Structure 1
Amino acid sequence: MSQESRQASRQELHAVEWADDGLLLIDQTLLPDRLERLRVTDVDTLVDAIRRLVVRGAPAIGVAGAYGVALALRQAERAGWDRTALLAAIARIREARPTAVNLAVCVDRVLPLLDQGPDAVLAEAHAVLREDEQANRTMAGHGADWLVKRVGALRPLRLLTHCNTGALATAGWGTALGVIRELHARDLVEVVYADETRPLLQGSRLTAWELAHDGIPHYVQADGAAAGTILRGEVDAAVVGADRVAANGDTANKVGTVAVALACAEAGIPFLVAAPTTTVDLATASGEGIHIELRGEDEVLEWGGLRTAPAVSRGHNPAFDVTPGRLVTALVTERGVLEVAAGQLPADHLHGP
């Protein structure tokens, strides 16, 4: 671990920050070996950073998208863009990753302020960031309370998580990993099983790095080991995040999540999804309407630039899968907990008192 990485372990992580008229993004493609920040001052660099997963996680790319509108306005002023060119640049940001709904939601939130100039857009983007971190901390409390009530607190819990849902994936604190951090603060975590998350290893590179950052005991395991770990009775609950939640409770998350949900259902243990309300997409009726991003074939056909499959092999590389709502024991947001498998749906939650 580098000296900067050791220093980061003593302070809160912020994946997305605004400083000196530009964005600072923790370059998550370099972790855990190096902790470096990429400075972003133009639309091309931001779109590339989102697509390459320099910044990733639905809430984090949503915040980056909101700031991206301010970047686009400033670039338009420098370059003399007309309105058409400006809107085209903003559309490129909005569409940089199609599955996570937060990106479009956060861009759309700041768009009405476009004619008021970059300072007004920037102020609203700051609000998006503050609200996301506060929502994460609130949902962490709700999720921890629900798990303690559901599973019991006679001993610390053995938890499983898939992909990265911590401070690196959000404006701060985290969603599913935020719930785990809250339980750890209550001395209620025995161990966390972190799935490695093929093909880009967000679990072993990022989640394990954050767990080490917080001093939380953990194992990294192959994705294919998760179901067996659950069925052997070594896990009390699985806690995962989401990139989009449909109105019927179907949930899109990192590919491999649905296998965890199926194993939890077979084992009779809770499968908890933690996500802010900005991730709930009431305009999408079910998981069938969620666009699943297909990434480049080389991510599964190569490793470290070396071919690991026969030359004639093709690569199938969906970045996400959809877990049916009937397998989601509960959905926790900043507004509380819905027991989705029992028939409580996101629409009721968001439209309730």
Structure 2
Amino acid sequence: MDTIRWEEGKLKIIDQTKLPTEEIILDIENIEDCRRAIKNLQVRGAPAIGDAAAFGMVLGLKEIQAENFEDFYEAFLENKRFLSSSRPTAVNLFWALDRMEDVVLKNAEMTLPEIRCLLEKEAMNIAEEDAATCRKIGENGAALLRDGMSILTHCNAGRLATARYGTALAPVYVAEEQGKRIHVYADETRPLLQGARLTAYELKEAGVDVTVITDSMAAYVMKNMRVDFVIVGCDRVAANGDTANKIGTYGVALLAKAHGIPFYVAGPFSTIDMDTPTGREILIEERPPEEITHGFGKRTVPVGVEVLNPAFDVTDHALITGFITEKGIICPPYKEGFEAALRGMKRGNERC
């Protein structure tokens, strides 16, 4: 099934914390369970988080018992604040919630049942647009790939991180559809092993040649194996091109630079935050220390030892060869490129 599916008033998701050994579908029936699923990484990946949050707002409507617009809107904003507190770094979460609020504000003169119907429709639109956007990212990125190439990726930015196709893996899927055979090196991605558990799982299911390596093997593989490209996803892109992605991405970018390997970031325009000037302003989520101290089912760190567990790091724009977006491939200077592309969305932006 798709990573996220709306069916009979319920949000159905694949519980990604159980993969790859168990394939469990969760029925999310209320806003509290939706927030918990986002917070606990049962649904993860910037686009998928935005999709889930939009449907979470629809689920939250069940608990709003308002008779006038003012009371309805106040309760709606409380639900929005509740979901927005789940994870701080991925901008798609806030982008999707803002889209849902825009529906309410633009239709304030309609009846509350009509507004509720429009909100459900908007959530479905967000998920459908996510799938279409990722497909376009795949088509644009596949143009960079030739038969027999190898890419290295970090974390999971495939179909499990989106409504369909993925971002960083979308070019691989489209290239495979075009008859090109692509080999993928997947960093395991400590401490939660999204690369080993999720990227390898979905690529294997799709019949794509994949090799899992530990994070510390990336330099060895770049030096001794053939790596043609590095393609990663993104959780927030600042106006100057600085990019927040899963912890370890910055190190991979430095290694790619040292070995002369192109380093691309794949993501939708909704991940570009023009209100954030540089990466210094991006809030980095701190995850529980238990993800490291008990990462393999038993304690692996001595009691009393301090643990640092940032979920993301920021890659400087100078290390990024280009951005693969649904509008085209954007090369430096990024701020001018983003602004130009935003101004000319109807005609696209093929800068590279």
1:110 shift after superposition? 1.3
Counterpart check, 1:76 vs 2:64: yes
> Superposition pairs for residues 258-297 of structure 1, below 5 Å?
258-297=250-289
Greater than 6 Å deviation, 4+ residue runs: none
Q: 1:83 to 1:247 in 2, by over 3 A?
A: closer
1:103-134 deviation per Cα after TM superposition (whole angstroms, max 9, x unaligned)? 10011101122354321101011111111100
The alignment yields a C-alpha RMSD, in angstroms, of 1.9
For residues 159 and 81 of structure 2, the distance between their equivalents in structure 1, rounded to whole angstroms, comes to 27
1:210 shift after superposition? 0.5
For residues 96 and 236 of structure 1, the distance between their equivalents in structure 2, rounded to whole angstroms, comes to 37
Q: Structure 1: which 5+ residue stretches go unaligned?
A: 1-12
The 8 Å contact of residues 240 and 334 in structure 2, kept in 1 or not, is answered as no
Aligned to 2:101: 111
Aligned to 1:10: none
1:322 shift after superposition? 0.5
For residues 177 and 15 of structure 1, the distance between their equivalents in structure 2, rounded to whole angstroms, comes to 15
Q: Secondary structure at the match of 2:169?
A: helix
Q: Secondary structure at the match of 2:23?
A: coil
1:124-181 deviation per Cα after TM superposition (whole angstroms, max 9, x unaligned)? 1111111110011111111111x24xxxx3x510111111111110011111111111
Match of 1:130 among 125, 128, 131: 128
Q: Structure 2: which 5+ residue stretches go unaligned?
A: 109-113, 348-352
| Letter aligned with residue 2 of structure 2 | H
**TM-score scaled by length of structure 2:** 0.90
The 8 Å contact of residues 191 and 217 in structure 1, kept in 2 or not, is answered as yes
Aligned to 1:244: 236
Match of 1:65 among 32, 35, 53: 53
- Provide the aligned length of Structure 1 versus Structure 2: 334
Q: 1:296 to 1:342 in 2, by over 3 A?
A: closer
| Letter aligned with residue 54 of structure 1 | Q
**TM-score scaled by length of structure 1:** 0.90
The 8 Å contact of residues 240 and 335 in structure 2, kept in 1 or not, is answered as no
Aligned to 2:111: none
1:237-296 deviation per Cα after TM superposition (whole angstroms, max 9, x unaligned)? 111100011110111100011111111111111111100011010000110011000000
For residues 341 and 83 of structure 1, the distance between their equivalents in structure 2, rounded to whole angstroms, comes to 41
Q: Secondary structure at the match of 1:33?
A: coil
For residues 19 and 75 of structure 2, the distance between their equivalents in structure 1, rounded to whole angstroms, comes to 35
1:317 shift after superposition? 0.5
Aligned to 2:311: 319
Q: 1:223 to 1:84 in 2, by over 3 A?
A: same
User: Matched residues, percent identical?
Assistant: 41
Q: 1:21 to 1:228 in 2, by over 3 A?
A: same
> Superposition pairs for residues 95-244 of structure 1, below 5 Å?
95-114=85-104, 115=108, 116-145=114-143, 147-148=144-145, 153=146, 155-244=147-236
Q: Secondary structure at the match of 1:306?
A: coil
The 8 Å contact of residues 32 and 209 in structure 1, kept in 2 or not, is answered as yes
Q: 1:350 to 1:231 in 2, by over 3 A?
A: farther
| Letter aligned with residue 108 of structure 1 | D
Q: Secondary structure at the match of 1:117?
A: helix
Q: Secondary structure at the match of 1:340?
A: coil
For residues 177 and 231 of structure 1, the distance between their equivalents in structure 2, rounded to whole angstroms, comes to 23
Counterpart check, 1:40 vs 2:32: no
1:42 shift after superposition? 1.1
